[in-house]
Amino acid sequence: MIAILKNSADDRAVEQLASWIEGKGLQAHISRGENELIIGLVGDTTKIDPFLLESMDIVERVQRVSEPFKKANRKFHPADSVIDCGGGVLLGGGHFQVIAGPCSVEGENLIRIARRVHAAGATMLRGGAYKPRTSPYAYQGMGPAGLDLLCEARAELGMPIVTEIMDARDIPVFLDKRIDVMQIGARNAQNFTLLKEVGKTKTPVLLKRGMSGTIDELLMAAEYIMSEGNDNVILCERGIRTFETRTRNTFDLNAVPVLHYLSHLPVVADPSHATGYTRYVAPMALAATAAGADGLEIEVHDDPSHAWSDGAQALTPDMFDDLMRRIALIRDAIQPASEEATR
Protein backbone atom coordinates (compact mmCIF):
# COMPACT_ATOMS: atom_id res chain seq x y z
CA MET A 1 0.00 0.00 0.00
CA ILE A 2 1.22 3.52 -0.76
CA ALA A 3 -0.06 6.89 0.37
CA ILE A 4 0.42 9.73 -2.11
CA LEU A 5 0.62 12.94 -0.10
CA LYS A 6 -0.58 16.43 -1.00
CA ASN A 7 1.99 18.97 -2.21
CA SER A 8 1.08 21.12 0.80
CA ALA A 9 2.27 18.47 3.31
CA ASP A 10 5.08 19.84 5.49
CA ASP A 11 7.93 17.81 6.97
CA ARG A 12 6.44 17.74 10.48
CA ALA A 13 3.10 16.37 9.25
CA VAL A 14 4.88 13.75 7.13
CA GLU A 15 6.94 12.58 10.11
CA GLN A 16 3.83 12.41 12.28
CA LEU A 17 2.06 10.27 9.69
CA ALA A 18 5.12 8.01 9.37
CA SER A 19 5.21 7.59 13.17
CA TRP A 20 1.50 6.73 13.19
CA ILE A 21 2.05 4.07 10.52
CA GLU A 22 5.01 2.59 12.40
CA GLY A 23 2.90 2.58 15.57
CA LYS A 24 0.59 0.18 13.75
CA GLY A 25 3.49 -2.26 13.32
CA LEU A 26 4.41 -1.40 9.73
CA GLN A 27 7.44 0.23 8.13
CA ALA A 28 7.01 3.67 6.58
CA HIS A 29 9.21 4.19 3.52
CA ILE A 30 9.29 7.89 2.55
CA SER A 31 10.13 8.75 -1.06
CA ARG A 32 10.47 12.36 -2.20
CA GLY A 33 10.26 12.73 -5.97
CA GLU A 34 10.25 15.84 -8.11
CA ASN A 35 6.46 15.85 -8.43
CA GLU A 36 5.19 13.52 -5.70
CA LEU A 37 5.77 12.70 -2.05
CA ILE A 38 4.97 9.08 -1.26
CA ILE A 39 4.90 6.97 1.87
CA GLY A 40 5.13 3.25 1.22
CA LEU A 41 3.61 0.97 3.84
CA VAL A 42 5.52 -2.29 4.25
CA GLY A 43 4.14 -5.11 6.35
CA ASP A 44 0.67 -6.41 7.19
CA THR A 45 -1.39 -3.61 5.67
CA THR A 46 -4.64 -5.22 6.87
CA LYS A 47 -3.87 -3.46 10.16
CA ILE A 48 -4.68 -0.10 8.54
CA ASP A 49 -8.03 1.03 7.18
CA PRO A 50 -7.25 2.58 3.76
CA PHE A 51 -10.34 4.80 4.01
CA LEU A 52 -9.12 6.20 7.34
CA LEU A 53 -5.69 6.81 5.84
CA GLU A 54 -7.18 8.55 2.80
CA SER A 55 -9.29 10.79 5.02
CA MET A 56 -6.22 12.37 6.63
CA ASP A 57 -5.58 15.99 5.70
CA ILE A 58 -2.19 15.50 4.05
CA VAL A 59 -3.14 12.38 2.05
CA GLU A 60 -4.14 12.84 -1.60
CA ARG A 61 -4.99 9.20 -2.28
CA VAL A 62 -4.16 5.63 -1.26
CA GLN A 63 -3.17 2.90 -3.69
CA ARG A 64 -2.70 -0.82 -3.08
CA VAL A 65 0.41 -2.51 -4.47
CA SER A 66 -0.22 -6.04 -5.66
CA GLU A 67 3.41 -7.07 -6.26
CA PRO A 68 5.11 -8.84 -3.34
CA PHE A 69 8.25 -6.71 -3.68
CA LYS A 70 7.68 -3.35 -2.03
CA LYS A 71 10.87 -1.39 -1.40
CA ALA A 72 12.26 -2.35 -4.82
CA ASN A 73 8.99 -1.33 -6.47
CA ARG A 74 8.88 1.80 -8.62
CA LYS A 75 5.44 2.59 -7.19
CA PHE A 76 7.13 3.16 -3.83
CA HIS A 77 9.95 5.21 -5.36
CA PRO A 78 8.97 6.72 -8.75
CA ALA A 79 12.35 8.35 -9.42
CA ASP A 80 15.34 6.26 -10.51
CA SER A 81 17.68 5.42 -7.66
CA VAL A 82 21.26 6.64 -8.05
CA ILE A 83 23.87 4.51 -6.27
CA ASP A 84 27.23 5.94 -5.18
CA CYS A 85 29.59 3.05 -5.89
CA GLY A 86 32.55 4.76 -4.24
CA GLY A 87 34.71 7.76 -5.01
CA GLY A 88 31.74 9.64 -6.45
CA VAL A 89 31.17 7.07 -9.22
CA LEU A 90 27.38 7.15 -9.63
CA LEU A 91 25.21 4.47 -11.24
CA GLY A 92 21.58 4.85 -12.32
CA GLY A 93 19.35 7.78 -13.16
CA GLY A 94 21.29 8.56 -16.34
CA HIS A 95 24.72 7.78 -14.88
CA PHE A 96 26.25 4.99 -16.99
CA GLN A 97 29.30 3.00 -15.86
CA VAL A 98 31.38 0.15 -17.24
CA ILE A 99 32.77 -2.45 -14.82
CA ALA A 100 35.70 -4.34 -16.32
CA GLY A 101 38.49 -6.69 -15.34
CA PRO A 102 39.39 -10.38 -15.15
CA CYS A 103 37.02 -13.09 -14.05
CA SER A 104 39.35 -14.00 -11.20
CA VAL A 105 42.27 -12.30 -9.49
CA GLU A 106 45.35 -14.32 -10.45
CA GLY A 107 48.26 -12.17 -9.30
CA GLU A 108 50.25 -9.15 -10.39
CA ASN A 109 48.74 -9.17 -13.89
CA LEU A 110 45.64 -7.62 -12.28
CA ILE A 111 47.23 -4.18 -12.19
CA ARG A 112 48.25 -4.41 -15.86
CA ILE A 113 44.69 -5.27 -16.83
CA ALA A 114 43.29 -2.57 -14.54
CA ARG A 115 45.51 0.08 -16.14
CA ARG A 116 44.36 -0.88 -19.62
CA VAL A 117 40.62 -0.94 -18.88
CA HIS A 118 40.93 2.34 -16.96
CA ALA A 119 42.69 3.97 -19.90
CA ALA A 120 39.91 2.74 -22.20
CA GLY A 121 37.24 4.41 -20.06
CA ALA A 122 36.08 1.74 -17.59
CA THR A 123 35.18 3.37 -14.29
CA MET A 124 35.00 0.33 -11.99
CA LEU A 125 37.25 -2.72 -11.58
CA ARG A 126 35.91 -6.25 -11.33
CA GLY A 127 37.79 -9.35 -10.24
CA GLY A 128 36.93 -12.42 -8.21
CA ALA A 129 38.96 -13.09 -5.08
CA TYR A 130 36.47 -15.81 -4.13
CA LYS A 131 35.22 -17.98 -7.00
CA PRO A 132 32.17 -20.26 -6.96
CA ARG A 133 32.98 -23.12 -9.32
CA THR A 134 30.93 -26.11 -10.46
CA SER A 135 33.84 -28.44 -9.71
CA PRO A 136 35.42 -28.47 -6.23
CA TYR A 137 38.78 -29.10 -7.95
CA ALA A 138 38.68 -25.94 -10.07
CA TYR A 139 40.45 -22.74 -9.07
CA GLN A 140 38.58 -21.19 -6.12
CA GLY A 141 40.27 -17.79 -5.96
CA MET A 142 43.03 -16.18 -3.89
CA GLY A 143 40.77 -15.12 -1.00
CA PRO A 144 41.96 -12.19 1.16
CA ALA A 145 45.22 -11.93 -0.83
CA GLY A 146 43.13 -11.31 -3.93
CA LEU A 147 41.20 -8.57 -2.14
CA ASP A 148 44.53 -6.95 -1.24
CA LEU A 149 45.54 -6.88 -4.91
CA LEU A 150 42.23 -5.29 -5.84
CA CYS A 151 42.77 -2.66 -3.14
CA GLU A 152 46.24 -1.93 -4.53
CA ALA A 153 44.77 -1.36 -7.99
CA ARG A 154 42.11 0.93 -6.50
CA ALA A 155 44.77 2.93 -4.66
CA GLU A 156 46.70 3.53 -7.89
CA LEU A 157 43.82 4.16 -10.28
CA GLY A 158 40.95 5.37 -8.10
CA MET A 159 38.58 2.74 -9.52
CA PRO A 160 35.92 1.38 -7.15
CA ILE A 161 36.12 -2.41 -6.69
CA VAL A 162 33.35 -4.89 -7.53
CA THR A 163 34.03 -8.39 -6.22
CA GLU A 164 31.94 -11.38 -5.22
CA ILE A 165 31.13 -12.38 -1.68
CA MET A 166 30.05 -15.99 -1.14
CA ASP A 167 29.80 -16.39 2.63
CA ALA A 168 28.27 -14.13 5.26
CA ARG A 169 31.25 -14.93 7.51
CA ASP A 170 33.46 -12.95 5.11
CA ILE A 171 31.49 -9.71 5.45
CA PRO A 172 33.80 -8.31 8.20
CA VAL A 173 36.79 -8.84 5.88
CA PHE A 174 35.04 -7.03 3.01
CA LEU A 175 34.11 -4.16 5.32
CA ASP A 176 37.59 -3.96 6.81
CA LYS A 177 39.13 -3.68 3.33
CA ARG A 178 36.42 -1.18 2.34
CA ILE A 179 35.30 -3.12 -0.72
CA ASP A 180 33.16 -0.68 -2.68
CA VAL A 181 30.55 -3.04 -4.18
CA MET A 182 29.81 -6.56 -2.96
CA GLN A 183 28.63 -8.82 -5.77
CA ILE A 184 26.12 -11.60 -5.13
CA GLY A 185 26.61 -14.20 -7.86
CA ALA A 186 23.96 -16.19 -9.69
CA ARG A 187 24.51 -19.25 -7.49
CA ASN A 188 23.77 -17.21 -4.36
CA ALA A 189 20.86 -15.22 -5.74
CA GLN A 190 18.52 -17.04 -3.37
CA ASN A 191 20.93 -17.54 -0.49
CA PHE A 192 18.57 -15.65 1.80
CA THR A 193 20.89 -15.71 4.81
CA LEU A 194 23.64 -14.04 2.79
CA LEU A 195 21.18 -11.54 1.28
CA LYS A 196 19.95 -10.50 4.70
CA GLU A 197 23.45 -10.15 6.11
CA VAL A 198 24.69 -7.88 3.30
CA GLY A 199 21.43 -5.99 3.81
CA LYS A 200 22.63 -5.07 7.29
CA THR A 201 25.54 -3.15 5.77
CA LYS A 202 25.39 0.06 3.75
CA THR A 203 27.80 -1.25 1.12
CA PRO A 204 26.32 -1.26 -2.41
CA VAL A 205 25.37 -4.73 -3.63
CA LEU A 206 25.44 -5.86 -7.26
CA LEU A 207 22.84 -8.63 -7.31
CA LYS A 208 22.98 -11.06 -10.20
CA ARG A 209 19.94 -12.90 -11.49
CA GLY A 210 19.86 -16.59 -10.63
CA MET A 211 20.74 -19.10 -13.32
CA SER A 212 17.09 -20.04 -13.80
CA GLY A 213 15.58 -17.14 -11.88
CA THR A 214 12.54 -15.20 -12.97
CA ILE A 215 12.44 -11.43 -12.94
CA ASP A 216 10.15 -11.49 -9.91
CA GLU A 217 12.58 -13.78 -8.08
CA LEU A 218 15.39 -11.32 -8.78
CA LEU A 219 13.29 -8.48 -7.39
CA MET A 220 12.34 -10.51 -4.33
CA ALA A 221 16.05 -11.21 -3.73
CA ALA A 222 16.62 -7.45 -3.85
CA GLU A 223 13.76 -7.07 -1.40
CA TYR A 224 15.56 -9.34 1.08
CA ILE A 225 18.56 -6.98 1.02
CA MET A 226 16.48 -3.81 1.20
CA SER A 227 14.25 -5.13 3.98
CA GLU A 228 17.31 -5.12 6.24
CA GLY A 229 17.98 -1.43 5.57
CA ASN A 230 20.41 -1.43 2.62
CA ASP A 231 18.79 0.38 -0.32
CA ASN A 232 22.02 0.43 -2.36
CA VAL A 233 21.11 -2.46 -4.66
CA ILE A 234 22.10 -2.81 -8.31
CA LEU A 235 20.29 -5.46 -10.38
CA CYS A 236 22.29 -7.48 -12.91
CA GLU A 237 21.00 -9.45 -15.89
CA ARG A 238 23.58 -12.12 -16.71
CA GLY A 239 21.60 -14.61 -18.76
CA ILE A 240 19.41 -17.52 -17.73
CA ARG A 241 19.55 -21.24 -18.35
CA THR A 242 17.25 -22.41 -21.15
CA PHE A 243 17.16 -25.32 -23.60
CA GLU A 244 19.49 -23.44 -25.97
CA THR A 245 23.06 -24.77 -25.94
CA ARG A 246 24.85 -22.61 -28.51
CA THR A 247 25.68 -20.02 -25.85
CA ARG A 248 26.51 -20.39 -22.17
CA ASN A 249 23.17 -18.83 -21.21
CA THR A 250 20.31 -17.05 -22.93
CA PHE A 251 20.81 -13.29 -22.53
CA ASP A 252 17.38 -11.98 -21.55
CA LEU A 253 17.59 -8.40 -22.76
CA ASN A 254 13.83 -8.14 -22.20
CA ALA A 255 14.76 -7.93 -18.53
CA VAL A 256 16.41 -4.51 -18.90
CA PRO A 257 13.27 -2.50 -19.82
CA VAL A 258 11.04 -4.76 -17.71
CA LEU A 259 13.16 -4.17 -14.61
CA HIS A 260 13.21 -0.43 -15.30
CA TYR A 261 9.42 -0.48 -15.55
CA LEU A 262 8.92 -2.45 -12.33
CA SER A 263 11.73 -1.07 -10.20
CA HIS A 264 13.64 2.13 -9.50
CA LEU A 265 16.91 0.25 -8.97
CA PRO A 266 19.77 0.54 -11.50
CA VAL A 267 20.15 -2.32 -14.00
CA VAL A 268 23.54 -3.60 -15.18
CA ALA A 269 24.01 -6.17 -17.95
CA ASP A 270 26.74 -8.83 -18.04
CA PRO A 271 27.23 -10.04 -21.64
CA SER A 272 30.33 -12.06 -20.71
CA HIS A 273 28.60 -14.60 -18.48
CA ALA A 274 25.48 -14.47 -20.62
CA THR A 275 27.11 -15.55 -23.85
CA GLY A 276 30.20 -17.43 -22.69
CA TYR A 277 32.13 -16.73 -25.90
CA THR A 278 34.38 -13.78 -26.68
CA ARG A 279 32.94 -13.31 -30.18
CA TYR A 280 29.46 -12.62 -28.83
CA VAL A 281 30.37 -10.29 -25.97
CA ALA A 282 30.78 -7.06 -27.95
CA PRO A 283 27.54 -7.26 -29.98
CA MET A 284 25.52 -8.11 -26.86
CA ALA A 285 27.21 -5.36 -24.87
CA LEU A 286 26.13 -2.90 -27.56
CA ALA A 287 22.61 -4.36 -27.58
CA ALA A 288 22.35 -4.04 -23.79
CA THR A 289 23.51 -0.44 -24.00
CA ALA A 290 20.88 0.31 -26.63
CA ALA A 291 18.24 -1.43 -24.49
CA GLY A 292 18.86 1.11 -21.75
CA ALA A 293 21.12 -0.69 -19.28
CA ASP A 294 22.64 1.64 -16.67
CA GLY A 295 25.96 -0.14 -16.93
CA LEU A 296 27.89 -3.14 -18.23
CA GLU A 297 30.07 -5.73 -16.51
CA ILE A 298 32.66 -7.12 -18.93
CA GLU A 299 35.50 -9.59 -18.47
CA VAL A 300 38.91 -8.50 -19.79
CA HIS A 301 42.16 -10.48 -19.58
CA ASP A 302 45.59 -9.76 -21.03
CA ASP A 303 46.12 -13.44 -21.96
CA PRO A 304 42.71 -15.15 -22.19
CA SER A 305 44.11 -18.49 -23.40
CA HIS A 306 45.96 -18.82 -20.09
CA ALA A 307 43.30 -17.33 -17.79
CA TRP A 308 42.64 -19.39 -14.67
CA SER A 309 38.88 -19.14 -15.16
CA ASP A 310 36.47 -18.20 -17.98
CA GLY A 311 39.13 -17.27 -20.54
CA ALA A 312 36.79 -18.30 -23.35
CA GLN A 313 34.56 -15.28 -22.72
CA ALA A 314 37.22 -12.66 -21.91
CA LEU A 315 38.07 -9.77 -24.22
CA THR A 316 41.67 -8.75 -24.76
CA PRO A 317 42.53 -5.15 -23.80
CA ASP A 318 42.66 -4.20 -27.49
CA MET A 319 39.19 -5.65 -28.06
CA PHE A 320 37.96 -3.74 -25.03
CA ASP A 321 39.41 -0.48 -26.36
CA ASP A 322 37.39 -0.90 -29.56
CA LEU A 323 34.24 -1.91 -27.68
CA MET A 324 34.38 1.19 -25.45
CA ARG A 325 34.60 3.38 -28.53
CA ARG A 326 31.48 1.73 -29.97
CA ILE A 327 29.63 1.89 -26.65
CA ALA A 328 30.20 5.66 -26.62
CA LEU A 329 28.63 5.91 -30.07
CA ILE A 330 25.56 3.96 -28.95
CA ARG A 331 25.25 6.11 -25.82
CA ASP A 332 25.42 9.28 -27.88
CA ALA A 333 22.75 7.97 -30.23
CA ILE A 334 20.21 6.97 -27.58
CA GLN A 335 20.78 9.52 -24.83
CA PRO A 336 18.07 12.19 -24.51
CA ALA A 337 19.28 15.77 -24.46
CA SER A 338 17.92 16.16 -20.92
CA GLU A 339 20.44 13.61 -19.65
CA GLU A 340 23.54 15.28 -21.05
CA ALA A 341 24.33 16.91 -17.72
CA THR A 342 24.61 13.53 -15.98
CA ARG A 343 27.21 12.04 -18.30
* Three-class secondary structure assignment of the chain: CEEEECCCCCHHHHHHHHHHHHHCCCEEEEEECCCCEEEEEECCHHHCCHHHHHCCCCEEEEECCCCCCCCCECCCCCCCCCEECCCCCEEECCECEEEEECCECCCCHHHHHHHHHHHHCCCEEECECCCCCCCCCCCCCCCHHHHHHHHHHHHHHCCCEEEECCCHHHHHHHHHCCCCEEEECHHHCCCHHHHHHHHCCCCCEEEECCCCCCHHHHHHHHHHHHHCCCCCEEEEECCECCCCCCCCCECCCCHHHHHHHHECCCEEECHHHHHCCHHHHHHHHHHHHHCCCCEEEEEECCCHHHCCCCHHHCECHHHHHHHHHHHHHHHHHHCCHHHHHHC
Q: Return the pLDDT at 36.
A: 81
pLDDT higher than 90, residue 338:
no
Determine the average pLDDT of the residues in 283-302: 98
Q: What percent of the chain has pLDDT over 90?
A: 78
What are the beta bridge partners of residue 164? 183
Q: Residues 252-273: pLDDT tens digits? A: 999 999 999 999 999 999 999 9
Rounded CA separation 199/84 (Å): 16
Does the pLDDT value for residue 323 go beyond 70? yes
Q: Is the pLDDT of residue 327 over 90?
A: yes
pTM: 0.90
What are the structural domains of the chain?
A: 2-63 (3.30.70.1140), 83-342 (3.20.20.70)
Q: Is it the case that residue 343 has pLDDT exceeding 90?
A: no
Residue 220 has pLDDT above 60, yes or no: yes
Q: What is the pLDDT of residues 66-116, one digit of tens each?
A: 888 999 999 999 999 999 999 999 999 999 999 999 999 999 999 999 999
Residue 155, pLDDT > 90, answer yes
Confidence (pLDDT) at 339: 53
The pLDDT score that the predictor gives to residue 151 is: 97
Query: Over 70: is that where the pLDDT of 341 sits?
Result: no
Residue (of 193, 267, 199, 219) closest to 73 by Cα position: 219
Q: Report pLDDT for 135.
A: 77
Among the residue ranges 50-54, 179-183, 212-216, 244-248, the one predicted with the least confidence is: 50-54
Predicted pLDDT of residue 337: 55
Q: Is the pLDDT of residue 342 over 80?
A: no
How many C-beta atoms surround the C-beta of residue 95 within 10 A? Answer: 20
Q: Which residue, 46, 48, 38, 43, is CA-closest to 76? A: 38
Please state, in angstroms and rounded to a whole number, the distance separating the CA atoms of residues 192 and 20.
30
Q: Indicate the average pLDDT of the chain.
A: 93
Per-residue confidence (pLDDT) for residue 35, from 0 to 100: 74
User: 141 with 129: CB under 8 angstroms?
Assistant: yes
